[in-house]
Amino acid sequence: MKNTVFTDFHTKLGAKMQPFAGYFMPVEYSGINDEHLTVREKVGVFDVSHMGEFRVKGPGAPGFLQRLTTNDIYRLEDGMVQYSCFPNGNGGIIDDLLIYRFDQETYMMVVNAANIEKDWNWCAKHAREHGLEVGTGLYNASDDIALLAVQGPHAIRVMEKLTEEPIDDLNFYKFRNLSIAGIKNAILSNTGYTGSGGFEIYVPNEDGPSLWNAVFEAGREFGIKPAGLGARDTLRLEMGYCLYGNDIDETTSPIEAGLGWIVKFTDNNNFIDRDLFWKQKKEGTERKLVGFVLKERGIPRLHYEIADTEGNVIGNVTSGTMSPMMKTGIGMGYVKSAFAKEGTPVNILIRNKQIRAEVVKPPIYRKGN
């Protein structure tokens, strides 16, 4: 079981620690609901150093990424980030990922912790086809990088105290190399997985402890708190963001998962599974991933059945929780496409009871609802 450079901080703060994706990670500190509300209303900090980072460099880098991922890499400019996925050749998803462009021949892929080995093997298998040598042109930097996510409405005020240059122009899905808390050439990005805004900070492992201390000192006046993976999950679910292993996996296509917007059928984009995904886009799919909100008391959980109003099973829950903001059960799941329209009444089968619910379009939680 691996530790991150921040593990000692977590244990000293009394975090509840559990194994996750091969790492010993904090699930909660003050409680999932408290941490969730802190991120929505103030600012919270997540240790996400378990994520994987692959560096891609060389003349063949754009072609390599264009072939292996579904989005259009040529739409990226320097300092931009792109959300995409690896199709597996059988209509499923190996992983979803972020791609950072530093220049025309230099990129970084950020992949899910549980899939690092699988993703690396897949990328290494295809690297030489594009003139990339494994270990140089394609390099696994996952064990070299410490990563904090500073999330919430006050995140920018915290980070402005730590940077020597203005960052108010660092828009969504943009990043920059800059000095943060005296750490030179750190990477600051604006992507997020909470729906509350914020930043990610990538630094070498040796700079991790000083970064942690600086962030919490800068955030003290804003009520900053550490947050664990439990709150990270409830936050992303309120927004309807997919979680790999639950809502998407090797058996789900990006089209049926509602991720058609990251599948670009441009003329120069011959990605793996292009023909299959094009057919799905034109002809539709048998099932679709939807969000839903319970209309009665209950908490939906993974694998619970979803039924129509007559009790016929039409799908299964892939993610579910009690929304800390809405104070009701919410979730995501695959249903037959005929039941995927927003506003469609459905039932969630909880302990042999049919609990009324309604299909909603993400984000499931909207401020003010």
Residue-level pLDDT, tens digit, the chain, 369 residues: 899 999 999 999 999 999 999 999 999 999 999 999 999 999 999 999 999 999 999 999 999 999 999 999 999 999 999 999 999 999 999 999 999 999 999 999 999 999 999 999 999 999 999 999 999 999 999 999 999 999 999 999 999 999 999 999 999 999 999 999 999 999 999 999 999 999 999 999 999 999 999 999 999 999 999 999 999 999 999 999 999 999 999 999 999 999 999 999 999 899 999 999 999 999 999 999 999 999 999 999 999 999 999 999 999 999 999 999 999 999 999 999 999 999 999 999 999 899 999 999 999 998 755
Based on the fold, state whether residues 234 and 148 are members of the same structural domain: yes
What is the structure's pLDDT at 368?
55
At residue 178, what is the residue type? Answer: L
Omega before residue 363 within 30° of 0, cis: yes
Cα separations (Å) of 169 from 43, 73, 172, 176, 199?
19, 23, 9, 11, 13
d(CA 353, CA 341): 23
Based on the fold, state whether residues 37 and 155 are members of the same structural domain: yes
Q: Provide the strand spans (E) within 22-80.
A: 23-28, 44-47, 52-57
Last residue within a domain, chosen from 206, 238, 270: 238
- Token digits of residue 153: 């409405």
Based on the fold, state whether residues 148 and 234 are members of the same structural domain: yes
The CATH number that applies at residue 110 is: 3.30.70.1400
Based on the fold, state whether residues 47 and 163 are members of the same structural domain: yes
Per DSSP, the three-state class of 309 is coil
Which has the closest alpha carbon to 113: 143, 82, 83?
143
Which has the closest alpha carbon to 369: 358, 306, 339?
358
Based on the fold, state whether residues 42 and 111 are members of the same structural domain: no
Domain presence at residue 259: no
Which has the closest alpha carbon to 238: 173, 329, 153?
329
Domain presence at residue 258: no
> 69: alpha, beta or left, given left = phi > 0 and alpha = psi -120 to 50?
beta
Last residue within a domain, chosen from 112, 140, 168: 140
Domain presence at residue 251: no
Based on the fold, state whether residues 90 and 120 are members of the same structural domain: yes
What is the structure's pLDDT at 366?
84
Based on the fold, state whether residues 295 and 367 are members of the same structural domain: yes
What is the structure's pLDDT at 34?
98
Based on the fold, state whether residues 107 and 129 are members of the same structural domain: yes
Domain presence at residue 222: yes
Based on the fold, state whether residues 155 and 135 are members of the same structural domain: no
Based on the fold, state whether residues 226 and 339 are members of the same structural domain: no
The CATH number that applies at residue 12 is: 3.30.1360.120
275 contact partners, CB below 8 Å, separation of at least 6: none
Domain presence at residue 150: yes
Element (H, E) at 223: none
Contact 110, 193 (CB under 8 A): no
Based on the fold, state whether residues 136 and 170 are members of the same structural domain: no
For residue 316, the enclosing domain spans 286-369
The CATH number that applies at residue 335 is: 2.40.30.110
What is the domain count for the chain? 3
Domain presence at residue 244: no
Domain presence at residue 164: yes
366 contact partners, CB below 8 Å, separation of at least 6: none
Based on the fold, state whether residues 41 and 180 are members of the same structural domain: yes
Q: Where are the alpha helices (DSSP H) in 54-202?
A: 61-68, 116-127, 155-160
d(CA 158, CA 213): 12
What is the four-CA torsion angle of 74, 78, 80, 84, rounded to 10 degrees? 30
Last residue within a domain, chosen from 125, 140, 155: 140
Domain presence at residue 262: no
pTM > 0.95: yes
Per DSSP, the three-state class of 114 is helix
- Token digits of residue 252: 């789900």
166 contact partners, CB below 8 Å, separation of at least 6: 160
